[in-house]
Amino acid sequence: MPEVRAVCEHDVMKRPLFGLSPLLFCALFFHVLLAAPLRGAPAAIAIPDDHGAEVAEAVLREGGNAIDAAVATAFVLAVTYPEAGNLGGGGFITLHHQGTDRFLDFREAAPGRASRDMYLNAQGNYITDSSLIGHRAAGVPGTVAGLWEVHRQYGTRPWKTLLQPAIRLARDGFVPHPQLIERTREAFADYEGKTNFREYFGSLGQSNAAQQPFPQPELATTLQRIAERGPKDFYHGRTADLLVAEMRRGGGLISHEDLRNYRAIWRAPLQWSWRGYTLVTAPPPSSGGIALAQLLGMKDALAADFKDAPYLSTRYVHLIAEIEKRVFADRAEYLGDPDFVTVPVSELVAPQYLQRRAQQINRAAISSPPGVKPGLAESLQTTHFSILDGAGNAVSLTYTLNGSFGNGVVVRGAGFLLNNEMDDFSVKPGVPNLYGVVGATANEIAPRKRMLSSMTPTILLKDGVVQGVLGTPGGSTIFTSVFQTLVNMFDHGMTAAEAVSAPRFHHQLLPGTLIIVSRCCNLPDKTRAELVAMGYDVRQNSWEFGDMQVIQRTADGGLTAAADPRGRGQARVFELMPRAARPAEPRSRPATVAE
């Protein structure tokens, strides 16, 4: 090797070493060095389906950062995870990039022609399903604007390149997962005769659906336009025209003006100190970050009570339910779009306030909803993924259509589903939404206002280093699921895989005695019987709430990742080799990023 000879013949190598000639010693040294395996920087992903996981890993291996991987993954999920991945919805990104923490709000907004009582009849009563199904249920979509904005600021790979995997999967089709087929068949009954859902997804209901690729040619064309023109196409161009034409066809409210005026908004993330860590999570218009801080803070304030409450015991479940009641009371009263209402964030997460709230809990009996007041002078088919790249940059991204497959309307000619996020407003004070959550005037409908959310994309830091990246879908169960996952890991010593697989339960202010348990994993029989004896109505849910995607740094500094077994996701930890040492990727590898 000429390079070895050049180094070994340098002036410093003129004397014998360890009885060997300088040249022989140098040659042996380089032989050992070159034979040693190259160690790369560790990276991790937790993604809700295998197509998204394949693309996220490929982007990172090909030199992209966490933001590049997130953009490519989000567009892929718009194709392969249509019940929640989307172009026609919106969401949030919590981001840690080179020591900086940021939060991007690309939540949907109410159309300019929306009004407070738009879902009420002449008698002032809610019109059944009017905020859930059909064209008038849709808010102005934010996903394309949000992904463009985060890529504009932090992406390193070309935008057009990152969309190629999604375009190929939409054009050529993918073999659908059995869970997607099941969910699609369940949705037919909801939308039959009301929307064009079956026209676009009917083949997923056929007996051979699991053996046939499912192409989406209109969606492929739309993605190609977005790859070439970015958000200009979606908000000003051909796709905007198709979306507005669909609104006119079905009596919807979204206009060209609404699309032109939409902006993704950078907001200060909610940062909250917890047990020596910094929790970086979602601020309003999400209720998730505040609720998560309140749950963790009140549980710590009741540490003495929890010492006598073994995990999943009757006392443990009851204490958590009492905490959750108070969180939902505050949520209903105070939280909404911060551009329209003043949200008392610092007061709601102040340690003194949480200590006082915790002491109001009834240790022995169920608090009735009328007795649980606000404490101050006061989708389920969402999807989430977590990405941590080799440089320590992290993305926690949650986006949604709200209900499964949104409002059931596919934009004709464009091939993507629209959201039913208008249901996340308080359509009438005291009237529960899809998830049984009630609200007050802070979250009432107003033109261009963003509806309150429960999405809680979260990053956990210690001394500026990412220790955890997590989040989940689940409607109103989102922040209670994130809370229980953190408690499982930090209080009960569970691994990431154990924490996401454990039973999850949920209680909210109304109904006052209802505790729901995720379908896969019930509470212990003894606990369930004792809760019923206390007066609780304990029900195993008909749908799985939560599809937790977690990345965790282990005590030795390594990484572990877990995808919730309730879903169809994948978690992977892998090493990224230094760029010069990377082998060339085969050009035929499916679903990777095109060069």
Catalytic residue IDs = 382
- DSSP summary character for residue 214: B
- Residue 564 identity: D
Q: Is 332 exposed, middle or buried (CB count within 10 Å of its CB: 0-12, 13-18, 19+)?
A: buried
Assess contact for 287 and 454: CB atoms under 8 A: yes
Task: List strand residue ranges (DSSP E) for 432-491, in order.
Answer: 458-462, 465-471
Q: Is 92 exposed, middle or buried (CB count within 10 Å of its CB: 0-12, 13-18, 19+)?
A: buried
- CA-nearest of 118, 22, 217, 47 to 425 is 118
Q: Which residues of 336-348 are buried (b: 16+ CB within 10 A; e: fewer)?
A: bbbeebebbbeeb
- CA-nearest of 510, 467, 464, 512 to 486 is 467
CB neighbours of residue 487 within 10 Å: 19
Q: For residue 403, give the 3-state DSSP assignment.
A: coil
Q: For residue 595, give the 3-state DSSP assignment.
A: coil
Could you tell me where the DSSP H helices lie in 285-383? 288-301, 303-307, 314-334, 345-348, 351-359
Whole-angstrom Cα distance, residue 572 to residue 45? 5
Q: For residue 2, give the 3-state DSSP assignment.
A: helix
- DSSP summary character for residue 423: G
DSSP 96-140: EETTEEEEEEE--B--TT--TTTTB-TTS-B-TTTTTSSGGGPPB
Contacts for 149 with CB less than 8 Å, ≥ 6 apart: 104, 106, 264, 266
Residue where the block lists tokens 């909250």: 272
Whole-angstrom Cα distance, residue 31 to residue 3? 12
- DSSP summary character for residue 392: S
- CA-nearest of 50, 83, 188 to 399 is 83
Whole-angstrom Cα distance, residue 166 to residue 90? 18
* Pairing mode of beta strands 514-517, 537-540: parallel
CB neighbours of residue 129 within 10 Å: 16
Residue where the block lists tokens 């046939």: 212
